[in-house]
Amino acid sequence: MKIEVFFSPSQIDDLFLRDKNVVVIDVLRASTTVAVALKNGAKEIIPVNTIESAVKVSGNLFGDVVLRGGERNGKIIEGFNLGNSPFEYTPEAVKGKSIIFCTTNGSTAMWKARYAKNMAVAGFVNISAVVNYIKELHDDLYILCAGKQTHFCLEDAVCAGMIIKMLMDRDDVEFDFNDSAAAAYTLYKNSSKNLLKLMRSTDHGKYLLEIGFEKDVEFCTNVDTVDIVPELIGNVIKIPKNNLPEKPHIPISIDTNLIKRD
């Protein structure tokens, strides 16, 4: 089983991922938010790579079944309904809604993987569900980390390394890594003792702490709290019909302090 990791979408072009199995990771916070939104009953997530696209797509969809969610510099985009804190995506806010999703790096990575044969969105919150999904594919895997403005993000790399470690917990498969996959695996082995301490020390983790999203950093570090696999189906991200959750994620109380508006 070949596993290749890319630390930023800028390292590949869209067509490279065509017909491949892809996992997109943006631990802080897009992957986490997408998992919570779908667990809490959102109909689908439509990832876009620019705010202009978000406005255009929402113009084509209409009525109160559409929300625009996303951030720039970690804070809600003016004119959007939701930012990118998972705490905003409660069942009351998102149930039945199509969410046009535009974040600085995460939604762009998801959009970049739109030609994949299979694509799943992973964070720590749903890592076991995604690993089980990958195992069922019995095929090579390409892990695309969202990074931050084309730069390396430690939290995404460690999450990629944890996925690799969990896949290796089986002795019936030979693995073939690219250097980035080997590096991610090593980073995970050296960092897994205290994930929260690590997350609070990363560039983006420190920035989120600075702008008041401490609870988000903690929540995004919780392993396996959201047992679903957001999958690319057509050109949207959703939960396949046969995997719909019986009940929403434990509703998270909205702490208005967490929702930063300019």
Cβ proximity to ligand MLT, 106 vs 230, nearer residue: 106
Does residue 26 bind ligand MLT (CB under 6 A)?
yes
CB 37 within 8 A of CB 91: no
Pattern 100-119, binding to ligand MLT, x per CB under 6 A? ---xxxx-------------
Does residue 28 bind ligand MLT (CB under 6 A)?
yes
| C-alpha 93 chain-centroid distance | 19
| Region near ligand MLT per CB under 6 A, out of 26-34, 184-192, 222-230, 237-245 | 26-34
User: Residue 231: in which H helix or E strand, if any?
Assistant: strand 231-233
Cβ proximity to ligand MLT, 4 vs 26, nearer residue: 26
Residue 218 Cα distances to 117, 200, 221, 238, angstroms: 33, 8, 5, 25
Work out how close the CB of 5 gets to ligand MLT at its nearest, in angstroms, rounded to a whole number.
18
| Region near ligand MLT per CB under 6 A, out of 4-12, 88-96, 97-105, 221-229 | 97-105
> Coil, strand, or helix at residue 177?
strand
Contacts of 60 (CB under 8 A, 6+ apart): none
The residues in 193-212 that bind ligand MLT, with binding defined as CB under 6 A, are: 208
Does residue 71 bind ligand MLT (CB under 6 A)?
yes
Work out how close the CB of 233 gets to ligand MLT at its nearest, in angstroms, rounded to a whole number.
21
Using CA atoms, how far apart are residues 93 and 73, in angstroms rounded to an integer?
A: 22
Residue 167 Cα distances to 4, 76, 123, 136, 194, angstroms: 13, 36, 15, 11, 21
Contact pick of 74, 91, 123, 230 for ligand MLT (by CB under 6 A)? 74
Q: Note the residues at the interface with ligand MLT (CB under 6 A).
A: 26, 28-30, 71, 74, 84, 103-106, 146, 208
